Amino acid sequence: MEHLLGFAIPGIPYGCTYAIVAVGLVLTYQATGVFNFAFGAQAYTSAFVFTKLVQNDGFPVWLAFLAAVVVLAPLLGLAFDRFLFRKIPSTNTTAKLVTGLALFVGVPALLPVLFGNQNLYASPSIVFNPDTVYFRVLGNPINGIDLATVVVTAAVLVALVALMRFTNLGLQMRGAVESRRLVELDGVNAGSVVATAWAVSSLMAGLAGVLLAPVYGQLQAQDYATLLVGAFAAAAWATLRSMPLAALVGILTGVADTVLQGYLPSSSTLSSAVLPSLPFIVLMAALLLVPGLRRLDDATDPLASVDPPPPPTTATSRAPQLSRIIQVAWYVLLGAFVISMLSWMPKTWESVFNSGLAFSTIFLSITLITGMGGQLSLSQATLAGVGAFTAAQLASHLGLDMLAGAVAGAVLAAAVAVVLALASLRLKGLGLALMTVAAALFFDNSIFTQRSITATSSGQALNIRTSWIGLGVLDPNGHALFVVEMLVLVLCVAGVLLVRSGTIGRYLTAMRGSETAAAGIGINLTWQRILIFALSGTVAGIGGTMLALQQQTVDALQFNYQLSLAFVVIVVTTGVSTVEGAIQAGIGFAVIEQLLSYLPARFGGNSLAFVLFAAGALTYAAHPEGILEFQKRRWTLRFEHLLFPGHDPNLAFATPNGTPTTADGSDPSILSSPGRVREPRSPTGSQQRGTAPSVLSDALAGAGLAGRHGNGPSTHAGRRDSEPSIRDESTQPAETDAASTNVHPQRSDDDRR
Amino acid sequence: MTVGDSRSSALSPPPTGRSGPDHREVHHAESPGGRGHREVHHDESPGGRDHREVHRAGQDIDVPRAPVPLLRVEHVTKRFGGIRAVGDVTFTVGRGESVGLVGPNGAGKTTLFNCICGQLRPDAGQVTLDGTLLDGLPTYKRARLGVGRTYQRAEVFPDMTVGEHLIVAERARHGGPHLWRDLCHRSAPTPAERRRVAEVLELVGIPGWEDRPVSSLGLGSCRLVELARALANEPVLLLADEPSSGLDARETHELAAVLRTLQRERGMALLLVEHDLSMVEAAVDRAIVMDLGVVIATGTFDQVMADPAVRIAYLGMGA
Ligand SMILES: Nc1ncnc2c1ncn2[C@@H]1O[C@H](COP(=O)(O)OP(=O)(O)OP(=O)(O)O)[C@@H](O)[C@H]1O
Ligand SMILES: [Mg+2]
């Protein structure tokens, strides 16, 4: 018993670090309805500024604390609220999540861009002296850091519970999460209530950041990020509802960690594999076992029906002539690219583009799972890693060709993805995001750390050797690598497009539209979901091997969870629902990174790339199709206006957003007049063009959203005219009547969910 | 595709003679789910069709007209926390019968629908379709057994055209692996499928709408798309939840006629939830009235409307 307590005591301050962050997460969620992925970034920002002011600029500790925690932290939270989260409807979970992820990736990357790369060590402590041992509990020394963590956590917990339970403000905060508008009907200024909530929770993030800074020797964003995900576990067990419970689970996690550390033999695989992942295992367990987490996203705004429906996507409103021009232009560009790569392209840039192609392949897996499947998965880099390590190990141990190994790797990655899908069958939105991020961290800390996986049998790093491939792929003077990467990408693109335009793509489109109705017509949601996870895992696994080939090494750092998050943020910026979005993301990411390397290091190098993409992803709420996609369409429409004044894209939509149209359907022939309805896409359209290359060209030409391929209105009109409808007298009135409801400007919001 | 032939016979153009609200001769014994009604208003022999339906539900009963009613709801109870949304409800719907389910707001009609089609699990009681116990079957399997459904808040797929809705519904019913076909680029709608889509659209009164994106349609049209999608699934039982909301009076009237036609032409059973009583009157053989989760009256439309308990339930609400 004494023994046990001896191990448990040091776990309490350690657990308090989880507890204080978990309480902050619950507070933000309770008071603003946002699961704040940026909490760790906010904490890091305050800690960074605090330490920098004290150490580099000679501020006294209290003044630096005032500036970094009391002033800066709430300001940051207010800015998040004012410029980002306030604009997102409370029911749009995905937009809230993506915005949080963009901040998670972008904010820590922004600091070195603003202040230059700085290494900050040994942050000062705000209360108590870190080096003094104040007292001993059962022989365990309690130093200033431990004491401060416990005391501040307890004080914060009491203060917050009191705030939420017993004050009017707390009541209003909780009401405002349900429906801002409902609270406002009671004469409460919901905007300011939510803003206050952000200020308070951000103050807390700052406090936690500064408090925990001395715990870490060097101040690094990663530590805060990992701490944050560990705290997710505690928050999840509390169903994001109860702060005391969150704190308790946080502390217990810490205690369990130190106790296990004490009892498990230090050399056992169990301790090397399980211990580092303990918080993530706890998180996965919560997601599997706590039923409340399945309903997190079901919260609906009672007044949501007041919202106007979102505008229609501009998917395929382009004039056919322009489509043709753009299509040809893409072919020319593609041809020029291939020829350049094979001839004059400098080696540096050839390698940059090769890595772009590999990234594009990995990003295609995000198109599959997020764009088509509608699921936000945060473990795509991990799946890529599974593919790469498998291929490399097979090559190293069995002498299997890397390209054959890629197939095996893809299969294994698909299997991992299926396990993930099975584990998260009943989760969606936030729950799924948490499950996948936990899985990614589990792999980072438990699997990709095993030497039997990350090193050759002789213990060397897994450097891709020429003998593993043949084909002269690694010949620095040849172009075989480019050819391989290009072929693989083309195959993957063709596969994705075929699935998208096929039956599975349609099922997925149906499921994204309404799961209820999809199940109601006989679609097996579970099976489709497992299938899309498997497909996504396959593509990610292939992409991972391609990346390994290009980098000529396989390293866990290439596939860690932060990259998983960054990948999603990048693809969201360029467009998650189109194949071209993934390709632009891959090439763009590689090229921008290379371009930034020419800048002075002061501008943060790689960080700036993440900042740029994060800034793009922050527009997700307004442009879920991707900001790049949005701008492209905008400019296309402008050009179109200049070139083909006859084609008016605004008329191309029979309107759901309030303006009554004349497309009342009373005369069916009106359908064939161009510009009345959206350019028709016959369900057969995509199939009429036979071969994969032409499908590819569609994507490259930006043929638009899932499963849609524009087909000229002419064919449509022709078909209609040649097939006079064989209506019976009795149905005629029904048809016109039903059609005339088209004028009704209102439509159900639920359709749009 | 496979079923197309047997059905296209049932898909002859709707009869010119309107089946208006003139079917009150169909009167129904108190025995719910009684079998008397068929003889009254079905002039064509339902035998062959029954056989098909029986086969469809995976049964091997060779009796042309199975003595079991199509849908049997027995003692179904569903609670939400303290609220008893549906309490011990029992009724049956005969093959090819059209039954109205009416009641004031919150009576538990939608909840009952959800229990029948599997979106909710009842706390007690059981649901049987054509002799098959549905308990524990997921929604999609029930759909494949022939339970079609439209929703109170129209649930369409906003990124699809009207035609795609129907094709998806038709394929989903048959299930089967699609990945390989997709990868071989062989998932194009077949001519047979397209013909079927055109037929169903014509049946619900929106012929030629295949290529319209539903995002361009109004609420009323979305309801018709929902209905067409449910029909593409070839239900033996259609659960329609307030199909007339969003439609004006004339459209409602037309919709009632369409539902009537479907029931007569295809032998499809219909369970209709509707607040518009004139539509109920026009579309059903028999009505069941619910209030606060329990059945308070059953019988012909006129009978239940004359029932004092029903008047109290409605006036209590309306006042
Ligand atoms: N998911 C749910 N959670 C909690 N209560 C529910 C839920 N769904 C329905 N209820 C409650 O069950 C009762 C019956 O609701 P239901 O929607 O079935 O009624 P209804 O007869 O369809 O009413 P309406 O005519 O308004 O559509 C109501 O009191 C409702 O508040
Ligand atoms: Mg209802």
Query: What is the full DSSP assignment across A573-606?
Result: HH-SSSHHHHHHHHHHHHHHHHHHTTS-GGG-TH
SS3 helix, strand, coil % of chain B, rounded to 5? 40, 20, 40
List the shell of residues around ion ligand 2, using CB closer than 5 Å: B 110, 152
Q: How far is the CA of B168 from the centre of ligand 2 (A)?
A: 26
Give yes or no for a contact between A528 and A614, defined as CB atoms under 8 angstroms apart.
no
DSSP A59-126: --HHHHHIIIIIIIHHHHHHHIIIIIGGGS-TT-HHHHHHHHHHHHHHHHHHHHHHH-S---BSPPPS
Closest CA–CA distance from residue A732 to any residue of chain B (Å) = 7
Q: Could A502 and B187 be called an inter-chain contact, meaning their C-beta atoms sit closer than 8 Å?
A: yes
Q: Identify whether the C-beta of residue A153 lies closer than 8 Å to the C-beta of residue A247.
A: yes
CB B108 within 8 Å of CB B85: yes
| Strand pairing report for B83-93 and A462-463 | unpaired
Pair (B208, B251) in one structural domain: yes
Is A535 a residue whose pLDDT tops 90?
yes
**Per-residue pLDDT reduced to its tens digit, A694-733:** 333 333 333 332 333 333 333 333 333 333 333 333 333 3
Residue type, A574: T
Q: Would the CA dihedral through A314, A320, A323, A327 be positive or negative?
A: positive
Q: Residue B315's pLDDT is what?
A: 66
C-alpha–C-alpha distance, residues A565 and A587, integer Å: 18
Distance of alpha carbon B243 from alpha carbon B223, whole angstroms: 6
Looking at the fold, whether B26 and B79 belong to one and the same domain comes out as no
Q: What pLDDT score does A444 carry?
A: 87
Ligand 1 pocket residue status of B85, Cβ below 6 Å: yes
Q: Where are the beta strands (DSSP E) in A285-359?
A: none
| Residue nearest atom 14 of ligand 1, based on CA coordinates | B108
- The pLDDT of A726-744, averaged and rounded, is 34
Q: How far apart are the first and last CA of chain A?
A: 55
CA distances from B188 to A82, A214, A249, A682, A684 (A): 48, 63, 53, 11, 6
Least confident of A76-85, A670-679, B171-180: A670-679
Predicted pLDDT of residue A330: 84
Rounded Cα gap, residues A145 and A131, in angstroms: 8
Scan residues 310-369 of A and list those with Cβ closer than 8 Å to B: 312-313
**Which residue does chain B place closest to A661, by CA atoms?**
B216
Chain A, residues 514-533, CB within 8 A of chain B, namely 514, 516-526, 531
- The verdict on B141 and B118 lying in the same domain is yes
Question: Which residues, listed in sequence order, are joined to residue A553 by a DSSP beta bridge?
Answer: A463
- Residues of chain B found within 8 Å of residue A372, distances taken between Cβ atoms: none
Look at residue A521 and tell me whether its pLDDT is greater than 50: yes
**B67-107 pLDDT tens trace:** 468 899 999 999 988 888 898 999 999 988 899 998 888 88
B60 and B156 both lie in a single domain: no
What is the pLDDT averaged over residues A566-592?
A: 87
What tens digit of pLDDT does each residue of B262-284 get? 888 888 899 999 888 888 888 88
- What share of residues in chain A are helix, strand, coil (percent, to 5)? 70, 0, 25
Residue B60 pLDDT exceeds 60:
no
- pLDDT value at residue A408: 92
Protein residue with its CA nearest to atom 28 in ligand 1: B106
pLDDT number for residue A493: 93
For residue A187, what pLDDT is reported? 65
Our count of domains for chain B comes to: 2
A426 touches chain B (CB under 8 A): no
Q: Which residues contact A8 (CB under 8 A, 6 or more apart)?
A: A255, A258, A259
pLDDT confidence of residue A603: 64
**Residues of chain A contacting B222 with CB distance shorter than 8 Å:** 747-748, 751
Atom of ligand 1 nearest to the CA of B104: 25
Dist CA A664 CA A678 (whole Å) = 14
Partner-chain residue, chosen from A513, A708, A731, that has the shortest CB–CB distance to B158: A513
Instruction: Determine contact, residues A42/A209, Cβ cutoff 8 Å.
Output: yes
- Of the three residues B9, B36, B67, the one that is the final residue of a domain is B67
Q: How would you class A455 by CB atoms within 10 Å of its CB: exposed for 0-12, middle for 13-18, buried for 19 or more?
A: middle
Q: Kindly indicate the confidence band of residue A482, based on its pLDDT and cuts at 50, 70 and 90.
A: confident
- Measured from the CA of B108, which atom of ligand 1 is nearest? 18
Per the prediction, chain B carries an average pLDDT of: 76
| CA of B103, closest atom in ligand 1 | 21
Q: Could you give the CA distance from residue B37 to residue B98 in angstroms, rounded to a whole number?
A: 10
Compute, in angstroms, the gap from residue B242 CA to the centroid of ligand 1: 14
Of B13, B194, B218, the CB nearest to A741: B218
More confident residue, A56 or A657: A56
Q: How far is CA A49 from CA A23, A64, A67, in A?
A: 23, 8, 8
Q: B106 C-alpha vs ligand 1 centroid, how far in Å?
A: 5
Instruction: Say yes or no for a CB contact (<8 Å) between B206 and A683.
Output: no
Euclidean distance between CA atoms A590 and A582, whole angstroms: 12
Ligand 1 contact via B80 beta carbon (within 6 Å): yes
B289 versus B188: which is more confidently predicted? B289
**Residues 682-701 of chain A whose Cβ lies under 8 A from any Cβ of chain B:** 682-684, 686-688, 690-692, 695
From B12, B40, B67, the end of a domain falls on B67
Mean pLDDT for A322-332 is: 82
The answer to whether the CB atoms of B185 and A742 lie below 8 A apart is no
Compute, in degrees rounded to 10, the torsion defined by CA atoms B52, A521, A317, A493: -100
Sign of CA dihedral B253, B254, B259, B262: positive
Mean of per-residue pLDDT scores for chain A: 75
Q: Which amino acid is at B30?
A: E
CA distance B30 to chain A (A): 32
With CB atoms and an 8 Å threshold, state whether B189 touches A733: no
User: What distance in angstroms lies between residue B85's CA and the mean position of ligand 1's atoms?
Assistant: 6
Q: Between A476 and A383, where is the model more confident? A: A383
- B81 and B48 within one domain: no
Through-space distance between the first and last CA atoms of chain B, rounded to whole angstroms? 52
- Res B267: pLDDT: 84
Please judge whether B222 and A748 are an interchain contact, meaning their C-beta atoms are less than 8 angstroms apart.
yes
Atom of ligand 1 nearest to the CA of B152: 27
Which pair of tokens denotes residue A695?
């499908």
Q: A685 vs B125, which has greater pLDDT?
A: B125
Measured between CA atoms, how close is A469 to chain B, in angstroms? 28
State the smallest CA–CA distance between residue B77 and chain A in angstroms.
21
A154 by Cβ neighbours in 10 Å (0-12 / 13-18 / 19+) ranks as middle
Tell which one of B84, B111, B242, B280 to mutate to probe ligand 1, the residue whose CB is within 8 A of the most ligand atoms: B111
Q: Which pLDDT score, from 0 to 100, does residue A662 have?
A: 32
Residue A5 above 80 pLDDT?
no
Of A241-250, A598-607, A657-666, which one has max mean pLDDT? A241-250
Q: What is the mean pLDDT of residues B137-164?
A: 89
CB contact under 8 A, B151 and A524: no
Residue A737 has what pLDDT?
Answer: 35
ipTM score here? 0.78
B149, B171, B182: residue with CB nearest A499? B182
> How far is B132 from chain A, CA to nearest CA, in Å?
17
Ligand 1 centroid to Cα of residue B109, in Å, is: 8
Answer yes or no: are the C-beta atoms of A577 and A371 closer than 8 Å: yes
For the cut 50, the answer to whether the pLDDT of residue A684 exceeds it is no
CB contact under 8 A, B221 and A739: yes
**Number of the ligand 1 atom closest to the C-alpha atom of B78:** 12
User: Both B134 and B196 in a single domain?
Assistant: yes
What is the CATH T-level fold of the domain A2-291, as seen in this structure? ABC transporter involved in vitamin B12 uptake, BtuC (1.10.3470)
**What is the separation of C-alpha A24 from the centre of its chain, rounded to a whole number of angstroms?**
22
The residue extents of the domains of chain A are 2-291, 341-560, 636-673
Q: Contacts for A290-298 with beta carbons within 8 Å, 24 or more apart?
A: A290/A236, A290/A237, A290/A239, A292/A239, A292/A241, A293/A236, A293/A239, A293/A240, A293/A427, A293/A431, A294/A426, A294/A427, A294/A431, A296/A239, A296/A240, A296/A429, A296/A430, A296/A431, A297/A93, A297/A428, A297/A429, A297/A430, A297/A431
Q: Is A191 exposed, middle or buried (0-12, 13-18, 19+ CB in 10 A)?
A: middle
Across the range B216-231, mean pLDDT stands at: 87
Q: Using CB atoms, which residue from A506, A683, A746 is nearest to B210?
A: A683
| Residue B78, token pair as written in the block | 């569903």
Gap from CA of A429 to ligand 1 centroid (Å):
25
Q: How far is Cα A735 from Cα B203, in angstroms, rounded to an integer? A: 9
Chain B residues with CB under 8 Å of A499 CB are 179, 182-183
Per-residue pLDDT tens for A609-645?
788 888 877 887 777 777 777 777 778 777 777 776 6
**Atom 5, ligand 1: residue with shortest CA distance:** B80
Q: Is there a single domain that holds both residue B285 and residue B263?
A: yes
The answer to whether B205 and B39 have CB atoms below 8 angstroms apart is no
pTM for the predicted model, two decimal places: 0.80
B153 shares its domain with B48 = no
Q: How much is the pLDDT for B75?
A: 92
CA atoms within 13 A on the CB side of B280: 24
Instruction: Say if residue B234 is in the same domain as residue B89.
Output: yes
Which of B67, B95, B120 finishes a domain?
B67
Here the tokens at position A476 are 């620095």
Q: Are the beta carbons of B172 and A738 separated by less than 8 Å?
A: no
Given a cut of 50, whether residue B49 has pLDDT beyond it is no
- In the stretch 437-496 of chain A, residues with CB closer than 8 A to chain B read 495
Say if residue B209's pLDDT is above 70. yes
Q: Which of B109, B150, B296, B317 to mutate to test the pocket of ligand 1 (most atoms within 8 A of CB)?
A: B109
Domain that includes residue B2, residue range = 1-67
Give residue A384's pLDDT band: very low, low, confident or very high (50, 70, 90).
Answer: very high
Residue of minimum CA distance from atom 4 in ligand 1: B80
Q: Are B246 and A512 a contacting pair at CB < 8 A?
A: no
10 Å Cβ neighbour count for A624?
Answer: 20
Residue A406 has pLDDT above 70, yes or no: yes
**Closest to A77 (Cα-Cα) out of A116, A95, A103:** A103
Is the C-beta atom of B111 inside 6 A of ligand 1?
Answer: yes
Parallel, antiparallel or unpaired: strands B237-241 and A133-137: unpaired
Task: Look at residue B32 in the predicted model and tell me its pLDDT.
Answer: 40
Q: Read off the pLDDT band of A475 (50, 70, 90).
A: low
- At residue B93, the 3 state secondary structure works out as strand
In which band, very low, low, confident or very high, does the pLDDT at A183 lie, cut at 50, 70 and 90? low
Q: Out of A62-66, A273-277, A690-694, B129-133, which region has the weakest mean confidence (pLDDT)?
A: A690-694
Strand locations in B32-163 (E): 71-80, 83-93, 98-102, 124-129, 132-133, 147-150
